[in-house]
Amino acid sequence: MKRLFDLAVALVTAVLLALPILAVAVAVRLTSPGPVLYWSNRVGRNNRIFKMPKFRSMRIDTPAVATHLLDNPDQWLTPIGSFLRKSSLDELPQLWSILCGDMSLVGPRPALFNQDDLISLRTARGIHQLLPGLTGWAQINGRDELPIPEKVQLDAEYMQRRSFLFDLKILWRTALKVLTRDGVSH
């Protein structure tokens, strides 16, 4: 049922947001050199690496590390990068990953391929068996500000509590957080 729900919501959302998605793609292309999409190596279910698309919000010469590990993340942003991140519009291409089956609407956010500490803690708790999500329990309970052990604890809590109704609650709270830009530090 979860997969069917993911497919239906991702497909309807992609159709409804086709024009805004196109507008963001054009804006990215016109405001900075390089590709419109950034394909990030991410860790999926069972620690399998997959390519996750995002609208490019950072310059093409940005080091491939988590944003919070950069000395001055703002120096790497494109002219519209801050807006894309704060509005979460940079995440829209991940609808493709949901349609392909690499991601779900709700689950632990996919780790970067080089976040060894996060990957090992999730693996030790069995969280690596879950399909990563566009949003998740940790996302709505701290997002960028959470230390990795707390993030993993919230991911484990999600794994124990997961249900269709819990996913709906997370999606609702995500929508509220995105609209208020709550928890976005970059």
Render 42-95 in DSSP notation, one character per residue.
EE-GGG-EEEEEEE--B-TT--SS-GGGSS-GGGGB-TTHHHHHHHTGGGTTHH
pLDDT at residue number 184: 54
Please tell me the distance from the alpha carbon of residue 112 to that of residue 40, in angstroms, as a whole number: 8
Paired sense of beta strands 133-135 and 104-106, if any: parallel
| Contact status, residue 104 vs residue 6, Cβ threshold 8 Å | yes
Tell me the Cα Rg of the chain: 16
pTM of the full structure: 0.88
| Contact status, residue 78 vs residue 61, Cβ threshold 8 Å | no
Q: pLDDT of the chain along its 186 residues, tens only?
A: 899 999 999 999 999 999 999 999 999 999 999 999 999 999 999 999 999 999 999 999 888 777 777 788 888 999 999 999 988 899 999 999 999 999 999 999 999 998 999 999 999 999 999 999 999 999 999 877 789 999 999 999 999 999 999 999 999 999 998 888 665 554
Please tell me the distance from the alpha carbon of residue 15 to that of residue 13, in angstroms, as a whole number: 5
